[in-house]
Amino acid sequence: MKIAIMGAGSLGTIIGAYLSKRNELVELIDVNQAHVDVLNQSGATITGTINETIAVKAITPDKMEGHYDLVLLLTKQMYNTEVLENLEPHLDEDSIVLSLQNGVPEDSLATVLGRKRIVGGSVEFGATWVEPGVSELTTAAEAFQANAFQIGELDGTTTERIQQIKGILEGVGNTTISANLIGTKWAKLLVNVAMSGMSAVLGCAYGDVLKNEIAVMSAVMLADETIKVGTASGVEFDELAGFNLNIFNIATDKANLPQAIGFTKKAFAPQALLKASMLQDLEKKQKTEIDYINGFVSAKGKEVNISTPFNDLLVRLVKKAEEEKTLPDFEENLAYFEALLS
């Protein structure tokens, strides 16, 4: 099976490396020529909670040839128009595109590429792009191997091809097949909204969010808004890494807020080193995926008449940093959330 890693950034580099190590026929595809060059010359170097260098084959999109049997899509959603235009000529009628993108892009992908080609999934571990050829695994090694992916067919059936994809991804880490893909995608969205959102808006790692009471409380409120908006939209949230996310459904009197905060600190402790990809984008003075993560919840909230003040605030602050090409100030932005909590 010929496999493409479309978007060999922090996550794609690690996934592509471990699939290559298993002798799968894999091409890591990325627009960053310097990154591609180092990958080919020196291999993919994984640092952080694991230290290893693995030989890989990397190319830029213009060097794609022939057809791919399986494409792992890890690019950012705002580039999908160009990415899909480049990719489509290299798909045949039996090609499979596994979306591992943040957010919930499956319907829009199916509109362009055809529903038959699309399966969905979520990456359950975190990574930070360090420099060309180097990606830092920020999830604890045991957690990485125990919960690497959730994948599923759009209609929730367990097919031969989804079993085959599971078998391939097991070369990276434990992979679970979900019968509730939309619930799985919203579960991963909730994590990105809460933890990646706070990491981006405060300019810090997950661990810094967990250590600050205002920050972690705000993360819980972001998760609460996501639960309420998703539920009102007909979503049944799937478990994430064995955790029932309904713990984030905060009661009107906030009686269960302390329990949710305690759960958050424990559940995300293994990812304390993780720095949101949106923050990494801000550091590079690039646009972020904020419209497809926290902005998605805000937009859906308006559709179902659910108020989303924490997501609305976070979107405004991240877009301000985007426009000004500055990094968020932890104390300054934390004060806005403290005012919202009071």
Structure tokens at 208: 């810094």
Which value, in Å, is the radius of gyration of the alpha carbons in the chain?
A: 19
Q: What pLDDT is recorded for position 166? A: 97
Comparing C-alpha atoms, which of 62, 65, 56 is closest to residue 27?
Answer: 56
Q: What pLDDT is recorded for position 181? A: 86
pLDDT in tens, 197-219: 999 999 999 999 999 999 999 99
pLDDT in tens, 136-171: 998 888 888 888 999 999 999 999 999 999 999 999
Residues 248-274 have a mean pLDDT of 92
The answer to whether 73 and 101 are in contact (CB under 8 A) is yes
Residues 6+ apart with CB under 8 A from 100: 11, 72, 73, 74, 121, 122, 123, 149
Report the C-alpha gap between 44 and 132 in whole angstroms.
Answer: 9
Q: Using a pLDDT cut of 70, give the percent of the chain over it.
A: 99
Q: List helix spans (H) across 233-308.
A: 257-267, 277-283, 294-304
What DSSP string runs through 137-180?
E-S-HHHHHHS-EEEEETT----HHHHHHHHHHTTTS-EEE-S-
pLDDT in tens, 174-192: 999 989 988 988 998 999 9
Residues 6+ apart with CB under 8 A from 129: 9, 10, 13, 135, 136, 280
Query: What confidence category does residue 244 fall into, taking pLDDT thresholds of 50, 70 and 90?
Result: confident
pTM: 0.83
Neighbours of 251 (CB within 10 A): 10
The DSSP element (H or E) to which 121 belongs, if any, is strand 118-123
Q: What pLDDT is recorded for position 124? A: 87
Q: What is the mean pLDDT of the chain?
A: 94
Residue linked to tokens 């497809």: 292
